[in-house]
Amino acid sequence: MNSPVRARALSRLLPLALTAAAVGTVGIAAAGGPAQASPVLAANLRLMDHSRMAAGTGPALHSMVAPSPAGVDATKRVSDAALARRAGIPLDRSSTPATASRPATAGTSTAATGTTRTSTADGPTLSTSAASVPPGTPHLTSFLTEHVAPSCTGTGSDGKRVQVVYAYETGSVNDYAGKAAVIRNEVANIDDVFAVSSAETGGGRRVRWVADADCVPQVVVAQVPTGVIGNSANGSTAWSTLKSSLASQGLNRNDRKYLVFGDAPAANPGICGIGDSYLDDRPTNNANDYYAAQYGVVYQACFAAFPNDQTSAGHELVHTLGAVQGSAPNASQHGHCTDDGDLMCYPDGSSTPMRQVCPALHEPLLDCNHDDYFSTSPVPGTYLSSSWNVASSSYLDTVAALPPPSEGPTPTATSWAALTTSGTTSVTISAVLRDTVTGQPVAGATVGVQRAPYGSTTYASVGTVVTDGAGTAKYTASAATAAGYRFAFAGDATLAPATSGAAAVRVPTRTALAVKAGYPTTFSGSLANAVTGKALPTGTPVTLKVRWYGTSTWASVTTLRTDAYGKVAWSWNAYRNGYFQLVHAGSGSTVASASATPLVRIPTKVSLAVRSGRPDVVSGRLTTGAGAALKYVDVTLQYRPYGTSTWRSAVQVRTSSTGTLSYSVQPRKRMYYRWAYAGTSTGYLGATSPQGYLTY
């Protein structure tokens, strides 16, 4: 999480300075301090096993629990006054929440908070309020001085929405009136959590509550069988019965999630709530977004969150929205996460240890580093860009992000300069970060390094570096693959953000050429990635070039394209001697390279004929491999007496203008003859004729 970014993103914020906590392994802990781990672990394992057995033919449904904050025994009732004080709601002289209505009789209404219609066994009743500002104070006291405004879209009942439910058990008192202010404050706290959390990634989200005409969330009051609320924390039967009872009263719409404030103590001291979530990490058409009604319940002692602590009601609602999937990078084994601080992270009995990754102040917010289940702007190529993201839930409205605070000095502009690269197989990218106003370098700044694959404009973070005393940021990247790199300074309280230009890192290449002289001359070559040694993509062009002997200009002979192994081959009847080279011109993703320049000499051939007479004559003709006459060239006539194997030179004869040779001999015994052309070191290749013989 980026603290400066968060500070700029939030409206109505209190002044706050954060430093990132060191990453480390922590022991059993939960919101506000040590959690009561053993009962939490037991409940998690029991409920997870139950969900597997009850999954049936539909998507797998898991039920996860929320831990009690430190010092809270969820089996003990908390008075309405104590809950109100925890929520920051003022009390009247009778220690009753000042904004709450007095209990109403069945079928009556009160104007104190709007209309409250109550009933008993005939089904759930709807309690509305015309108040436009939720009572109480935000539990996010380090971030907000007042609650954020709720979403106000549609009719308040259209589309997919979250229905708030107050449930009480048969035989107990309907105390909705005494707890209404606390419940509404907690509902507002949940909106605060989504508002502040979404602003961390530059977006805005609010819950789509079932609301009245004034956009105030409505609360349904429902009576359920005795014992099912509290016992739902300890056994799957009671949890199923609670949901069935609510469903039988019409609270079972497929386009609703039901957030239940269950007015009863939990049967387990360490558990504040329980909620359902489908095991489905598909980014769209997700079961958590359409399949069936889902329920989350919070127990009476946990109706109100402590300041800057986790909201149990929010925790269970986020479960029903689909968090945390087991495929997430930091997922636990029981539907939570392991990179604290985070609303959904706590030691739930998984074998993966907890790590304090984000500051403790982030504990009541969603998704530390926004990489597991919630981001309004997931980085392409990361988990949330291709998996289920709660921020895309149809049960949330997209609204404007919280504006930055108006107070405080305007950060000084910064800029990047002197972007350079050096190196071949490993490329060092450097740039200087400067204060644009003073021109001075910014030393000691932590800047992000971002990478985009060649051909893409989408950058992803690959690390961070710190600028040196001269304001220079340096990063060394492998050139094994082509990519663009840039530096991104996120800014701080005094300096504005700045992103450098892009530095291209291209793949170095290695080109080789081999020549086999003859008629024709065969050229074979290769082109490879100089870092990995692997072939470049099939069809990469290379050019065969020549510089004729005695000249200084290179000319293209032909363009070839590599095969799957990076190889090329070509044959040619070279008509002049010259230097040849295989050249890769480079591209946007590769660096140019050229082979060595072997000298290719022209192959020759010489013929021989003998004629007996007075005198005997040995003749022949010297030509290039292609048949062109070599004129005025010295050729040696060699002889070998019959019965010997050693050739001796007799005389040198110069070819005519047509390349012919002729010499008269008078052998005294049977003699073998041949013509031998030595060639030149920079010109034509040597050649030897077939042999012929004459007798005395």
123 residue type, one letter? G
Average pLDDT over residues 225-248: 89
Average pLDDT over residues 291-305: 94
pLDDT band, very low/low/confident/very high, at 491 (cuts 50, 70, 90): confident
Average pLDDT over residues 442-463: 93
What are the pLDDT digits (tens) for 20-78? 222 222 222 233 333 333 344 444 434 443 343 344 456 777 777 777 777 788 899 99
Residues 233 and 295 in one domain: yes
| Residues 339, 368 contacting (CB under 8 angstroms) | yes
- SS3 label, residue 147: coil
| Residues 396, 376 contacting (CB under 8 angstroms) | no
What are the pLDDT digits (tens) for 663-688? 999 998 899 999 999 988 777 889 99
Residues 90 and 151 in one domain: yes
Last residue of a domain, one of 341, 372, 398: 398
What are the pLDDT digits (tens) for 399-451? 999 876 555 567 788 999 989 999 999 999 999 999 988 889 999 999 999 99
Residues 35 and 151 in one domain: yes
29 residue type, one letter? A
Residues 237 and 386 in one domain: yes
Specify the pairing of strand 294-299 against strand 256-262.
Answer: parallel
- Written as six digits, the tokens of 414 are 């910064």
Residues 551 and 432 in one domain: no
CB atoms within 10 A of CB 642: 11
What total of structural domains would you count in the chain? 4
Residues 591 and 656 in one domain: no
CATH of the domain at 588: 2.60.40.10
| Residue 669: inside a domain | yes
> Residue 267's domain spans which residues?
3-398
Per-residue model confidence (pLDDT) at position 10: 33
Per-residue model confidence (pLDDT) at position 124: 54
Spell out the residues 6+ positions from residue 45 whose beta carbon is closer than 8 angstroms to its own: 334, 349
| Residue 409: inside a domain | no
Residues 113 and 231 in one domain: yes
User: On the CB side of 76, how many CA atoms lie within 13 Å of its CA?
Assistant: 8
176-199 vs 312-320: helix axis angle to the nearest 10? 70
Give the Cα separation of 45 and 104 in Å (integer): 42
CB atoms within 10 A of CB 676: 17
How are the residues of the chain apportioned to helix, strand and coil, as percentages rounded to the nearest 5? 15, 35, 50
CA-nearest of 560, 552, 604 to 578 is 552
Residues 343 and 364 in one domain: yes
**Confidence check: pLDDT of 187 > 50:** yes
Residue 60, CA distances (Å) to 47, 233, 323, 348, 497 in order: 13, 20, 14, 20, 45
User: On the CB side of 575, how many CA atoms lie within 13 Å of its CA?
Assistant: 5
| Residue 218: inside a domain | yes
Last residue of a domain, one of 487, 505, 523: 505
Residues 685 and 552 in one domain: no
Per-residue model confidence (pLDDT) at position 102: 33
**Confidence check: pLDDT of 107 > 90:** no
| Residue 52: inside a domain | yes
| Residue 404: inside a domain | no
Give the Cα separation of 211 and 153 in Å (integer): 10
Residues 323 and 465 in one domain: no
143 or 675, higher pLDDT: 675
Average pLDDT over residues 326-342: 93
| Residue 480: inside a domain | yes
| Residues 476, 485 contacting (CB under 8 angstroms) | no
Find residue 478's DSSP bridge partners: 426
Give the Cα separation of 640 and 669 in Å (integer): 11
Per-residue model confidence (pLDDT) at position 361: 84
Average pLDDT over residues 538-566: 95
Q: Mean pLDDT highest for which of 1-10, 23-32, 81-90, 523-532?
A: 523-532
Average pLDDT over residues 547-562: 94
Residue 31 backbone class (left: φ over 0; alpha: ψ -120 to 50; beta: rest)? beta
Last residue of a domain, one of 369, 398, 427: 398
| Residue 425: inside a domain | yes
pLDDT band, very low/low/confident/very high, at 19 (cuts 50, 70, 90): very low
Residues 291 and 173 in one domain: yes
Q: Mean pLDDT highest for which of 9-13, 305-309, 586-590?
A: 586-590
Mean pLDDT of the chain, nearest integer: 84
What are the pLDDT digits (tens) for 596-648? 999 988 888 999 999 998 889 999 999 988 888 999 999 999 999 999 999 99
Per-residue model confidence (pLDDT) at position 104: 31
Specify the pairing of strand 256-262 against strand 161-169.
Answer: parallel
Average pLDDT over residues 521-546: 95
Residues 569 and 535 in one domain: yes
